[in-house]
Amino acid sequence: MKTARAAWRRLEPVHGMIYFVPEARRRYAELGLSGHAGYFASRGAAFGPASAELIISTFYNFNPAFVRRAVAGAWDATTPQQVLDARYTAAGEALRRAGIHELPALDEVLALTHRAAEAACDHGQGRPLFAAHAALPWPEEPVLRLWHAQTLLREFRGDGHVAVLLSEGVGGLEALILHAATGDVPVGFLKASRAWPEEEWADTLERLRERGLLDGDSLSPEGALLRRHIEDRTDRLALPGYAALGDTGCERLAELASPFGRAVLQAGLIELG
């Protein structure tokens, strides 16, 4: 399980950069999608003309009112296929800017990631965001095939993560605050990107303190245990794809993936502000 997690984490920047790069913002703006409308429409376009309620449900930890405002009118301005095309074009542009296409291990990393993603496709039940993306055609270009494969593995894991949060009775804003309490991501970024009103954030923070999950703004021992349980369970639910590689394949992918993630970060494709 540890090797599978390492393989995912080290390659994850290859997918995650799409939410930050100017190439994506520019391509979405050309379609009439400004601000956060581009993010919600592009990630949700695999569903077709996704409603705000569908996005709220599957993305899980965004302020619903924020999503409704951002998505309003999106599908009057453009179509899901146009948005998907723009997303893939932007992904290719950004990854080539990072030099991903020149890395010598591209073919082997793509082969391993593709195999894991294809194996995950046999376990799509109960994973709506993954299933929607899995139904999309595979791109031809190697860099885009790698991005698509990692996107599938990311959404497969994400749907499992939401299932764990639901089973543990952890709501979207609660999950966000518990994540913030780890210190892994700046609190300011999480507040700005998820757009929960400050009053709701403060009220939920206090409820988590009363439940003994927070000590001030940090995780309490009980909160740390819950976070560890959630992450471990999420890792376990993400295994069906990586199991196709076996421990040896996961170790090899984790080893080869490091330069890919590094290239994305060194090119400045992911900036949390």
pLDDT at 254: 96
Please report how the helices 106-120 and 142-167 are oriented relative to each other, as an axis angle in degrees rounded to 10.
40
Q: Consecutive sets of 10 residues in the chain, 273 residues long: mean pLDDT of each?
A: 91 97 98 95 98 97 97 96 98 98 97 98 97 98 98 98 97 97 93 96 97 96 97 96 95 97 97 73
What pLDDT score does 273 carry?
A: 61
Phi-psi region of 97 (alpha: psi -120 to 50; beta: other; left: phi over 0): alpha
**Per-position b or e across 166-186, b if 16+ CB within 10 A of its CB:** eeeebebbbbbbbbbbeeeee
What does the pLDDT read at residue 272?
75
To which residue do tokens 């046999």 refer?
Answer: 122
Q: Look-up: residue for tokens 């369970």? A: 233
Residues 90/223, Cβ–Cβ less than 8 Å: no
Inter-helix orientation angle 198-210/172-182, to 10°: 80
Residue 133: helix, strand or coil by DSSP? helix
Looking at residue 2, its pLDDT comes to: 86
CB-CB neighbours of 225 under 10 Å: 12
How far apart are the C-alpha atoms of 203 and 167, rounded to whole Å?
A: 22
| Cα–Cα distance measured from residue 269 to residue 16, given in angstroms and rounded to the nearest whole number | 9
Which residue pairs, CB below 8 angstroms and at least 24 apart, start in 187-193? 187/217, 188/273, 189/272, 189/273, 192/273
Work out the number of other CB atoms within 10 angstroms of the CB of residue 29.
15
Q: Which residue type, as a one-letter code, is found at position 128?
A: P
CA distance 31 to 39: 13
Query: CA distances (Å), 29 to each of 40, 48, 55, 272, in order?
Result: 13, 19, 20, 21
